[in-house]
Amino acid sequence: MQFTFKGAAAALAMSTMLAGTAQAELTGNLRIFFNDQNPAPKAAMEGMVERFQALHPALNIELTLIDREANKTQIRNYLTANAPDVNGWYAGNRMRPFVAAGLFEDVSDLWAGEMGEELASTRPALTLDGKQWGVPYSYYQWGIYYRQDIFEELGLSVPTTWEEEKANCQVILESGRKCYTIGTRFLWTTGGWFDYLNLRTHGYDFHMALTAGEIPWTDDRVRETFAKWRELIDMGAFIDDHTAYTWQEAQPFLVNGEAAAYLMGNFLVAPLREAGLTDDQLGFYQFPEITPGIPMAEDAPTDTLHIPAQAQNKDNARAFLQFVASAENQTIVNEVLGQLPINRNASVADDKFIQAGFEMLSNATGGIAQFFDRDTDAEMAAAGMEGFQEFMVMPDNLDAILQRLESVRQRVTAN
């Protein structure tokens, strides 16, 4: 899919030009490969490009939208041959193969100024080898989405500690429901559970060291995390047969009230609303504390834009990234996306879940993790999530699973 915005935005240009910008007039080309074709991200990106075009009417912008999954393999081709000027990707370790191969442009110069301060919360996620390699435009919170009406019916309140969480779960189980729905067919959903159990049991620093491959998987502290997980598994807290479902196929259990909660990212809200749950039925709470006193850290996967090292129009690309990072743009874009802006001067949409997420992440004193498969090496992520799924079905295999993960870790770190 390709669009040219030049003509369409001409009218808009007149009005916004009056507002005036300090930037010099840009000419030439700007080719953007964006990695999402879903309606909301598509609208957000097109809006972004249209407004940028209005600022620079002489610029010839070409936007190509690539399917989210297809982009994960295509990026390898387009970064090495016929690179665009800007491309969409993810923060964290997911950037590493391209940074290591010299395919991403170092954009530390952009981060050096005012922009770096405004985006400070995600600076660590965009930093590898002491340099920044891209600019974030949006992120979203993870947490527990639950059925408020079921909680009210059973007289439960939102838990803040592990003991309360388990006590609640016991009541829910006795009412003939399951505590949590989950669909592990595509494995990644298990990563959310591991992240939160590990972050809450041992804290951010331990979690990041583990995902960076610095701590053996056979470490006793890792076992403690799995022991917490096992408490829930032994209670029968998760729905049966979760290996057969995708994350979408697991939603009906929550919608039909057969399960009371779902640990998921904020993108869950849209399909649940569509399925008929109102804001009175659906609630959100932060994953409760496990080890008392550990600062709360959260998963908040960040979506980013990068400049390929082989880009033809790097000056235009830099100007665009600067525009993307601005408070005004992030406010508009995240309103459309239904997600959170990263720029601290941007304002947040008036939505129950987005507000809750904003508050939670603003107070995430422990730190912000990306997600298991973005914080770890790709090979480690695949082996890890496969192990988590096996553990959820056969918790007795834990020793064998950890041995296997450890041998993968050793191979990955040796390389």
Q: Which residues bind another protein (CB under 8 A)?
A: 69, 72-73, 76, 80, 97-98, 100-101, 103, 184-187, 240-245, 249, 252-253, 373, 378-379, 381-382, 386-387, 389-390, 393, 404, 411, 415
Query: Whole-angstrom Cα distance, residue 325 to residue 343?
Result: 7
Residues 298/304/309/313 CA torsion (nearest 10 deg): -160
Cβ–Cβ < 8 Å for 198, 207:
yes
- Classify each residue of 46-69 as buried b or exposed e, where b means 16 or more C-beta atoms within 10 Å of its C-beta: bebbbbbbbbbbebbbbbebbeee
Cβ closest to another protein, residue 89 vs residue 285: 89
DSSP, collapsed to helix, strand or coil, labels residue 143 as strand
Which among 107, 106, 110, 71 is positioned nearest to 88, based on CA atoms?
71
Query: Whole-angstrom Cα distance, residue 192 to residue 370?
Result: 10
Helical residues (DSSP H) of 175-211, grouped into ranges: 188-202, 204-211
Cβ closest to another protein, residue 181 vs residue 330: 181
Which among 289, 288, 287, 282 is positioned nearest to 152, based on CA atoms?
282
Radius of gyration of the chain (CA): 22
Query: Whole-angstrom Cα distance, residue 274 to residue 410?
Result: 45
Cβ closest to another protein, residue 17 vs residue 186: 186
Cβ closest to another protein, residue 42 vs residue 72: 72
Shortest Cβ distance from residue 245 to another protein (Å)?
A: 7
Cβ closest to another protein, residue 38 vs residue 80: 80
Q: Which two tokens stand for residue 89?
A: 């990707």
Q: Which two tokens stand for residue 256?
A: 């039909």
Which DSSP state fits 410? H
Query: Whole-angstrom Cα distance, residue 121 to residue 107?
Result: 17
Shortest Cβ distance from residue 395 to another protein (Å)?
A: 13
Which among 86, 96, 98 is positioned nearest to 125, based on CA atoms?
96
Cβ closest to another protein, residue 104 vs residue 111: 104
- Classify each residue of 195-213 as buried b or exposed e, where b means 16 or more C-beta atoms within 10 Å of its C-beta: bbbbbbbbbbebbbebbeb
DSSP, collapsed to helix, strand or coil, labels residue 307 as coil
Shortest Cβ distance from residue 211 to another protein (Å)?
A: 14
Cβ closest to another protein, residue 54 vs residue 381: 381
Cβ closest to another protein, residue 28 vs residue 102: 102
Cβ closest to another protein, residue 289 vs residue 377: 377
Shortest Cβ distance from residue 303 to another protein (Å)?
A: 16
